[in-house]
Amino acid sequence: MSYTSTRPLLVFLHYWGGSSSTWHKVISLAKEEYPILSLDLRGWGQSFCPDDPTAYSISIMADDVAGTLEKMADERQTSLDNGFILVGHSMGGKVALATIPALSDRIRGKLHSLVLVAPAPPTPLKLPGEIQEQQQKAYATEESVVWNIRHILANMENLSAADVEMIVRDSLSGHEWAKKAWPSYGMQEDITDSVARALSSLQAKKQITAKILVGGSDLVEPRERVESGVARFLQENGVKVSLRVVEGVKHLLPLECPKVVYEMI
Query: Does position 1 have pLDDT exceeding 60, yes or no?
Result: no
- Model confidence, pTM: 0.95
The per-residue pLDDT for 2 is 44
Q: Dihedral of CA 124/127/151/231: which sign?
A: negative
Q: pLDDT confidence of 6, banded at 50, 70, 90?
A: confident
Sequence-separated (6 or more) residues with CB below 8 Å from residue 202:
100, 108, 109, 111, 208
Q: Residue 244 pairs with which residues in a beta bridge?
A: 213
Across the range 245-259, mean pLDDT stands at 98
Query: Does position 262 have pLDDT exceeding 50, yes or no?
Result: yes
Structure confidence by residue, pLDDT tens digits, 38-71: 999 999 999 989 999 999 999 999 999 999 999 9
Structure confidence by residue, pLDDT tens digits, 104-121: 999 999 999 999 999 999
Helix/strand/coil (H/E/C) assignment for every residue in 145-175: HHHHHHHHHCCHHHCCHHHHHHHHHHHHHCC
In whole angstroms, how large is the CA radius of gyration of the chain?
Answer: 17
d(CA 12, CA 14): 7
Query: Does position 260 have pLDDT exceeding 90, yes or no?
Result: yes
**CATH classification of 9-264 is 3.40.50.1820, yes or no?**
yes
